[in-house]
Amino acid sequence: MGYLKTLTNKDVIITPFIVNKQFTSSAITPTYNDGNIFSVSGSNSPYPLSGGLEGSGSAPLVYNSIKQLYYGNYLEDGDNGLVSNAATASFNPDGTITGPRYTTDYNNNIQSIDERRYFPTSSGDQIHIVSIPSNKFGNFIKPGSLTLTLTLYESAFNFYFYPLEDDGQGNLIVKTANSTTYYNVGDHVGNVIYESGVIIITGKNGEGYPYLAPSNFIYKMEVENLSWESSVTIYETQYKCTMRASEFNYSTNPTLITSSSRGQNNILTSGSATYSDFVTGSVFSPFVTAVGLYNDNQELLAVGKLAQPLQTSQTTDTTILINIDK
């Protein structure tokens, strides 16, 4: 068909780019699930027996799952002791290997060389998890965008709140504090796993947060004022539609037909159309108002409309770019 021109691979460019959207959630409490944000605590305690005499429900499962998924490479020999960061062996030029005996057998979703992973391993230590569903964070949480307020209650009328922020490296840091009873400004209290939408509160430098800890009097902890930005990759497809000087030099606009061939509403009344003289001349350059994209079956898939009519050229090529976001 004369009005169609085949596009080549060079005429199609696909470019990914990331878009962000702000989300907020006012109040989240342990074991609370509002269908969007899930919050749960984990404990380094024995698994419950069949009669439920030991442990506390799923708390040991949560604790060990988080330990395995995100902190396995950061623990000395995988079991005991607290290690600030995973140290790996050094490979020397002479072929020898020196350094501490730590392994990187686990994929712990390492996000930055400046990320610090601390994890409490003493008996009874507790952690707290906030999980954001994927439809709320997209491909990943935008680094540096997450903030929240951690509130520790000693009683219904006596509490301490600590605004926390994500430092962009996966670390959760105390931003301000109304009291230094439990945390100081700048303390590392957990991690944000961007690609999983998981917030892990491990306490000051992995000492476990004081909620229900025997040495403290905290009876309730709340995560409030949670805010973050989602990140989604959108793929923009650009089609380069080039008209050579000798191409598309005609028009199907019915107003180009002489009035004797047209009836009411520009409908063709005779068997063949008679075009106006200026249309058949060699200097005729029609105006382009829209470009259609067709598949191999010549089915119209998309239409790109120009902001204003564009006149074709008799001497130079004309290129129209069509962008479609997917």
Averaged pLDDT in 10-residue chunks for the chain of 326 residues: 82 93 78 67 72 55 90 62 47 62 59 84 86 91 95 81 93 88 89 94 74 51 90 94 84 66 53 62 78 92 92 88 90
Instruction: Assess whether 268 and 162 both reside in one domain.
Output: no
Q: Within this chain, do residues 44 and 192 fall inside the same structural domain, yes or no?
A: yes
Residue 3 lies in a domain: no
Owning domain of residue 187: 18-234
pLDDT of residue 29: 55
What does the pLDDT read at residue 273?
64
- pLDDT score of 9: 92
Same domain, 180 and 227: yes
Which phi and psi (to 5°) does residue 274 adopt?
A: -115, 115
Whether 164 contacts 173, CB under 8 Å? yes
The answer to whether residue 42 sits within a structural domain is yes
225 and 247 share one domain: no
Domain boundary among 182, 214, 234: 234
Write down which residue in 234, 258, 290 finishes a domain.
234
158 in the same domain as 134: yes
- Note the pLDDT of residue 130: 92
Does residue 252 contact residue 270 with C-beta atoms inside 8 Å?
no
Q: Are residues 318 and 304 in the same domain?
A: yes
Inside any domain, residue 117:
yes
What is the structure's pLDDT at 294? 93
Is residue 197 in some structural domain? yes
Spatial CB neighbours of 38, under 8 Å, sequence gap ≥ 6: 32, 130, 131, 133
How distant, in Å, are the alpha carbons of 13, 41, 49, 310 from that of 292?
17, 56, 68, 15
